[in-house]
């Protein structure tokens, strides 16, 4: 039986023993980069929808409030994907023969919901609730970005737990007054002072409570 390894592999073997630290470190580093990359998190990625709905046009162009369509965002865990009837409110008369909107009209005729794809798909072991974030003073823009500048809706943050925790540790960096929650362009003159005042005023729980596992996982 011939030898499997050539004599020259000895050098490689020695080198890899000494280099193991660097090799393992390098692999770990590559894995962490891959883990945070859009390939894994879908950050900044748009999703193909049945109708290429443009937030930019409806929000910035027409000035429609977020709540006109996402009507339950202040009261329930889910912000609410509008029923087809909400589209038809306007599109019965506007762009009413546009071929692009045929799936909308078909859905309205048949009663079969449009199959909108989720852009922010949280894992099922996360119990996110929109209403509590709105009630405590977190604005739409903090998590959804400048939706008024998105032609097609993309996922703004990484949605990784480190991103959630960054705010749960220091919510005062993001809190805003109640009447500015839905204002995508507003920014505080002095966020530090305002945030601290709002945290007190809105009875935010302590950092310990906000970063408790069971706050988001149950």
Partner 1 sequence: MRRLLFLAGGPVLALALSGCRNDMHHQAKIKPFRESKFFADGASARALPEGTVARGFLREDSALWRGHGPDGKFVEQIPVPLTRALLLRGQERFNVFCSPCHGRTGQGQGMIVQRGFKRPTSFHADRLRAERAGYFFDVITNGFGQMSGYAVQVTPEDRWAVVAWIRTLQASQHMPGDFLEKGDREHLDTAALASQPEPAASGHSPSKKSSLSSSETK
Distance of closest approach, residue 22 Cβ to partner 1, in angstroms: 21
Task: With H, G, I as helix, E, B as strand and everything else as coil, classify residue 196.
Answer: helix
Measured CA to CA, the distance from residue 44 to residue 47 in angstroms comes to 10
Which CB, 44 or 113, lies closer to partner 1? Answer: 113
Distance of closest approach, residue 14 Cβ to partner 1, in angstroms: 21
Measured CA to CA, the distance from residue 193 to residue 209 in angstroms comes to 22
Residues that bind partner 1 (CB under 8 A): 4, 62-65, 67-68, 71, 76-78, 81, 83, 85-86, 88-90, 92-94, 111-113, 115-116, 123-125
Count other C-beta atoms under 10 Å from residue 40's C-beta. 12
Distance of closest approach, residue 66 Cβ to partner 1, in angstroms: 9
Distance of closest approach, residue 79 Cβ to partner 1, in angstroms: 9
Q: How far is CA 170 from CA 77, 91, 195, 207, in A?
A: 22, 43, 9, 8
Which CB, 49 or 86, lies closer to partner 1? Answer: 86
Which CB, 63 or 99, lies closer to partner 1? Answer: 63
Measured CA to CA, the distance from residue 26 to residue 195 in angstroms comes to 40
Contacts of 145 (CB under 8 A, 6+ apart): 154, 156, 157
Yes or no: say if 56 and 184 are a contact pair by the CB < 8 Å rule.
no
Which CB, 27 or 209, lies closer to partner 1? Answer: 27
Distance of closest approach, residue 65 Cβ to partner 1, in angstroms: 4
Which CB, 179 or 190, lies closer to partner 1? Answer: 179
């Amino acid at each position: 039986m011939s030898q499997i390894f050539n004599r020259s592999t000895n050098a490689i073997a020695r080198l890899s023993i000494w280099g193991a630290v660097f090799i393992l470190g390098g692999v770990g580093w590559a894995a962490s980069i891959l883990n945070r990359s859009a390939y894994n998190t879908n950050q900044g990625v748009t999703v193909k929808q049945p109708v290429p709905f443009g937030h930019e046009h409806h929000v910035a162009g027409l000035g429609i409030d977020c709540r006109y369509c996402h009507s339950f965002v202040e009261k329930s865990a889910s912000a609410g994907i509008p029923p087809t009837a909400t589209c038809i409110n306007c599109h019965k008369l506007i762009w009413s023969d546009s071929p692009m909107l045929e799936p909308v009209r078909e859905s309205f005729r048949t009663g079969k919901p449009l199959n909108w794809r989720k852009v922010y798909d949280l894992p099922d072991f996360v119990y996110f609730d929109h209403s509590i974030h709105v009630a405590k003073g977190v604005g739409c823009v903090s998590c959804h970005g400048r939706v008024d500048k998105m032609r097609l809706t993309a996922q703004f943050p990484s949605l990784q737990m480190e991103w959630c925790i960054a705010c749960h540790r220091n919510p005062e960096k993001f809190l805003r007054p109640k009447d500015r929650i839905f204002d995508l362009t507003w920014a505080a003159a002095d966020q530090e002072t305002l945030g601290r005042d709002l945290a007190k005023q809105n009875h935010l729980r302590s950092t310990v409570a906000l970063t408790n596992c069971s706050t988001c996982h149950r």
